[in-house]
């Protein structure tokens, strides 16, 4: 299966801009399905970006983050060609990880 994480990291001088798009239902637990039954909450709780073995950005999410979440941030000190590790875990214990090359 293709990774649920799409990430683009672009170094511009000392600053690396990171944009990530993750495929995830982010169910709130307030929405009913076609049969009128509540769809249980299912959402990413933690999304982590690591560079050089160090966290550069950690997101703690609740159910109010949109479906297929998007996030953008920037950090200092990385170079083109370096690796950026991205990982998430959701409230049901599922997780995914990918490593992106900084371009």
Q: Is 35 in the site for other proteins (CB under 8 A)?
A: no
Q: Return the residue of 1, 2, 12, 54 that touches other proteins, per CB under 8 A.
A: 54
Size of the site for other proteins (CB under 8 A): 31
Q: Is 77 in the site for other proteins (CB under 8 A)?
A: yes
Nearer to other proteins, 1 or 64 (CB): 64
38-49: buried (b, 16+ CB within 10 Å) or exposed (e) per residue?
Answer: eeebbbbeebeb
Strand partners, 94: none
Tokens of 93: 């214990």
CB of 94 to other proteins, least distance (A): 15
Tokens of 66: 């949109």
């Amino acid at each position: 299966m293709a990774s649920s994480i799409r990430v683009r990291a672009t170094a511009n001088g000392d600053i690396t801009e990171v944009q990530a798009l993750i495929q995830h239902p982010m169910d709130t637990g307030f929405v009913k399905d076609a049969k009128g039954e509540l769809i249980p909450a299912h959402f990413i709780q933690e999304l982590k970006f690591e560079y050089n073995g160090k966290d550069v950005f950690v997101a703690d999410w609740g159910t109010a983050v949109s479906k297929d979440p998007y996030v953008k941030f920037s950090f200092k000190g990385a170079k083109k060609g370096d690796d950026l590790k991205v990982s998430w875990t959701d409230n049901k214990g599922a997780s995914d990880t990918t490593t992106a090359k900084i371009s």
